[in-house]
Amino acid sequence: MASIESSTEELLVEQDGRVLVVTFNRPDRLNTISPPMLMELSAVLTAANKDPEVRCIVLTGAGRGFCAGLDLVDVSKGGIGSGGGSKRPRQLFDLRDAPITVMWGIDKPVIAAINGAAAGYGMDMSLIADMRIAGESAKMAAVMVKRNVVPESGGTWLLPRLIGWGKAAEIYFRGRTLSAQESLEMGLVNAVVPDEELMGTAMQWAHEIADNAPMAVQTTKRMMRMGMEESFDTAVDHLMVHLAGMFASEDFKEGVQSFLEKRKPNFSGR
């Protein structure tokens, strides 16, 4: 089995079967994002997307926070997103390798196990995940307008699509912090569980996903993503193109055979 590793202790990577667990590891700073974490997260997600031994990714935080956003101390000193100070030549920003862009573009499903505060950049990353499971003490903090910043990492595009314009406007314009239960009622998270059951639940969902045919899961995710910008006719046409290849796969034969034999399928990804 291929091994995906992190080059920084601020981002922990552990593989459990075909599930990759990625943990923000700055608990003393509520897992605020540092420059090494940004670069390494993109690299880990890209590697996971290419690794056939990874079928689902779980993203969580160490300690009592999921991710409290970008490290504003680094920003104020000329770090993340500041341009590096006045002596640095100005240039167009490039987000092609940013974690938010990479996470949006990968086909492997991502579950955010929200174990505490998800604020700013951390909230945006949780929104980009395909599913969100929150512990009872989790919070969604959309406090950007209280800091004279904006949801720069895709939040303004994602949130209205997830819960509708009116609710998104209420959360962002008022700078609201939502409890786990409020997040569930708003449609921001899929489920709320006791804190001590959070990772167990997230891993259960992840392993259920990993047991399914990976080609089908990943194609479904890609078609859902592309379908957000396609017409119905175009989306259906694209689906039929993918389906033709899947009918010829070993996993399709395994799916049919396991159904006839009334057993759990063993998908190979081929």
Among candidate residues 50, 26, 27, 28, the one with its CA nearest the CA of residue 38: 26
CA distance 137 to 85: 38
Lookup: tokens for 160? 């209205």
According to the model, what pLDDT value does residue 3 have?
Answer: 79
Spatial separation of the C-alpha atoms in residues 253 and 268, rounded to whole Å: 11
Measure CA 89 to chain center: 33
Mean pLDDT score across all residues of the chain? 89
Q: What is the pTM of this model?
A: 0.89
Q: Kindly indicate the confidence band of residue 270, based on its pLDDT and cuts at 50, 70 and 90.
A: very high
Higher local confidence (pLDDT), 94 or 28? 28
Mean pLDDT confidence for 20-35: 93
**Structural domains of the chain ordered from first start:** 11-211 (3.90.226.10), 214-261 (1.10.12)
Q: Provide the pLDDT confidence category of residue 6 given band limits of 50, 70 and 90.
A: confident
Give the pLDDT score at 92: 62
Q: Choose the weakest-confidence range: 90-99, 228-237, 252-261.
A: 90-99
Reported as half-sphere exposure (CB side, CA atoms, 13 A), residue 209 has a value of 25
Q: Provide the pLDDT for residue 131.
A: 97
Q: Is the pLDDT of residue 126 over 60?
A: yes
The string of pLDDT tens digits covering residues 70-100 is 876 655 555 554 444 455 566 666 677 788 8
**Per-residue pLDDT tens digits for 235-250:** 889 888 888 888 999 9
Its sign, for the CA torsion 72, 76, 77, 81, is positive
| Intra-chain end-to-end CA distance of the chain, in Å | 16
- Per residue in 136-157, pLDDT (tens digit) is 999 999 988 888 877 777 888 9
pLDDT band at 109 (very low <50, low <70, confident <90, very high): very high
Alpha-carbon distance of 20 to 4, in angstroms, equals 9
Check pLDDT > 60 for residue 57: yes
